[in-house]
Amino acid sequence: MNVLIVFAHPEPKSLNGSLKDFMVQRLEKSGHNVQVSDLYAMQWKATLDADDNTEKQEGIRFDPAEDSKQAFYNGTQSADIAHEQEKLRWADAVILQFPLWWFSMPAILKGWIERVYAYGFAYGVGEHSDKHWGDRYGEGNLAGKRAMLVVTTGGWESHYSERGINGPINDILFPIQHGILFYPGFDVLPPYVIYRTSRVDETVFAKARDELGARLNSLWSTKPIPFRHQNKGDYEIPALTLRADFAPGKSGLAIHEYDA
């Protein structure tokens, strides 16, 4: 199988760097093909702007979605964007690996999403009618592929627990796991999170390596997070609210899973 690791940490000799090296080794040893987009090493351009279209029209009001659409369909996307889309097409599984900075992904990775996720590629896909609100949330060009987050954070596991002050980790990651990965079609595996990074010594690192190795071994068999599909009848269209007979009376993020 083909695995793409999108890696967003500035220091190769960091915990994140070591984990990334371990993942590459382990996956290759298991016979998989691996590509790494090491965003800092690539000096990835983080900021989406009019230069992302090589046929930038001077003096025209820049509309990010419209411009992305034109560039995608006319083949005038900047080369770095098209190249990353090729990697996504090639991949059977994608791992986004990053330190949790201010409760989200680092800006350089957010900018990778914004620029690579073109209109026509990751959104604006499929029929848009009163019965089918685009191919998204379970459908889309990345359907059939798997995705997983590998995240480190300085905070303790309890700080991200059900009643922890930072918010439950699954809620904090919902905009990424549901909004960025499930949206264009990925099956999203539960994240692998390492907490309290300042206390990671050799013993803790060995344990993390074992756990992460097990997650990589089961990359093709782990049950994805059971997010509800948008267009299979669970949601009213076009309101896109969960039908009253599903998870009746409940609200919040967890209702968007089938077993809510």
Residues that bind a copy of itself (CB under 8 A): 10-11, 13-14, 40, 44, 46-50, 61-65, 99, 101-104, 106-108, 110-111, 113-114, 117, 137, 154, 156, 158-159, 161-168, 171-172, 174-176, 178-180, 230, 235, 238-242, 250-256
Which CB atom, from 91 or from 172, has the smaller least distance to a copy of itself? 172
**In what helix (H) or strand (E) does residue 93 lie, and over which residues does it extend?**
strand 93-99
- Residue corresponding to tokens 């097409």: 89
* Minimum separation from the CB atom of position 27 to a copy of itself (A): 25
Minimum distance of a copy of itself from residue 12's CB (angstroms): 9
d(CA 211, CA 196): 16
Distance separating alpha carbons of residues 207 and 192, to the nearest angstrom: 13
The minimum distance between CB 119 and a copy of itself, in angstroms, equals 11
The least CB distance from residue 33 to a copy of itself, in Å, is: 28
* 238 prior amide bond cis, ω within 30: yes
* Residue number with CB closer to a copy of itself (144 or 252): 252
Phi/psi for 218 (5° steps) reads: -105, 25
Complex with a copy of itself: residue 79 or 239, whichever CB lies closer: 239
Distances, alpha carbon 169 to alpha carbons 100, 157, 204, 211, 250, in Å: 11, 9, 20, 18, 20
Query: Smallest Cα–Cα separation from 255: which of 174, 192, 135?
Result: 174
Residue in the block written with tokens 């990334």: 20
Nearer to a copy of itself, 154 or 226 (CB): 154
CB of 212 to a copy of itself, least distance (A): 22
| Tokens 């909004």, located at residue | 179
Strand partners, 38: 7
Of the pair 179, 220, the CB lying nearest a copy of itself is at 179
